[in-house]
Amino acid sequence: MLKNKVVLITGAGSGIGRAVALVCAREGASLLLSDIDEAGTEATAALVREVGNEALVVLADVGVATDCQMLVERCCSHFGRLDVACNNAGISGPSLNTADYPVDDWNHVIQVNLSGVFYGMKYQIEAMLRTGGGAIVNVASILGAVGFATAPAYAAAKHGVVGLTHTAALEYSAQGVRVNAVGPGFIRTPMIEALDNDEATHAMLVAAHPMGRLGEAEEVAELVVWLASARASFVTGAYYPVDGGYLAR
Ligand code: NAP
């Protein structure tokens, strides 16, 4: 599905980002893998190379605009272009109600989870327009569509990612850049391990998903890669839940 395509993935050192990298590799892509976690990203790169694909590791903080610009420049200088970007890096922030939420934590979550996606798209779109188009898949969340008590910054940022996705799709789809977002439910990754750490919480999280289980990173990756591929050629400006039915209630 992605044969000879160049794909840039942020947050590629863990969880969903690593799974996206591996499905992209299986589908024939060359990869620029980025994260702030060097060991995790090198581990992902080693797995990609085992499949026989090229993986370039470039460390970057998505919350810094110049890092996001540098990522796209490195991608274009190394591979000659950028076809697909998956803006996936994200953090959960503390679990606290709105009135108790520290301002510094609010700013940090918005910086990484929302501004990071804006910075990414700003430079990715510019590069894609130079080569006639491309596809962007932003990793939002079910909390891009509904609230969740004790996650004010995270939910606000993810709603913002969905709004940015709609807006950029309106602006650039006629020029060949498709922009979509996915909304994972609770997925078994290191991010969730910190929250899903006792039996009562686990039972509550499982019960929130009509399928009666949490999701796997690979299940999100399959949707991301389909949206990024030419098989989704008429899909843009869309927000696709991948949530075991969480949002259907
Ligand atoms: P994860 O396992 O924690 O992976 C996220 C990766 O992003 C980590 O390697 C992390 O590095 C990196 N990262 C953190 N801050 C960064 C920054 N400023 N710049 C670049 N990289 C950064 O989490 P995940 O579950 O795979 O989450 C991936 C995305 O899916 C996130 O956007 C998340 O909000 C979204 N999502 C996850 C779930 C879920 O249930 N897991 C549900 C809905 C949406 P460190 O480990 O060093 O922090």
Catalytic residue among 101, 154, 172, 240: 154
Catalytic-residue membership of 154:
yes
Q: Residue 3 phi/psi, 5° resolution?
A: -60, 130
By most ligand atoms within 8 Å of CB, the mutation choice from 8, 191, 192, 195 for ligand 1 is 191
pLDDT for the residue numbered 238 = 98
Report the pLDDT averaged over residues 2-7.
Answer: 97
Q: Residue 34 phi/psi, 5° resolution?
A: -130, 150
Domain ranges of the chain: 6-189+216-242
CA distance 238 to 72: 24
Tell me: the pLDDT tens digits for 149-163? Answer: 999 999 999 999 999
Report the pLDDT averaged over residues 53-79.
Answer: 98
CA distance 74 to 79: 8
C-beta 139 within 6 A of ligand 1: yes
pLDDT for the residue numbered 197 = 83
pLDDT for the residue numbered 20 = 99
| Total-model pTM | 0.99
C-beta 44 within 6 A of ligand 1: no
CATH 3.40.50.720 is right for the domain spanning 6-189+216-242: yes
Rounded to the nearest angstrom, the distance between the alpha carbon of 107 and the centre of ligand 1 is: 17
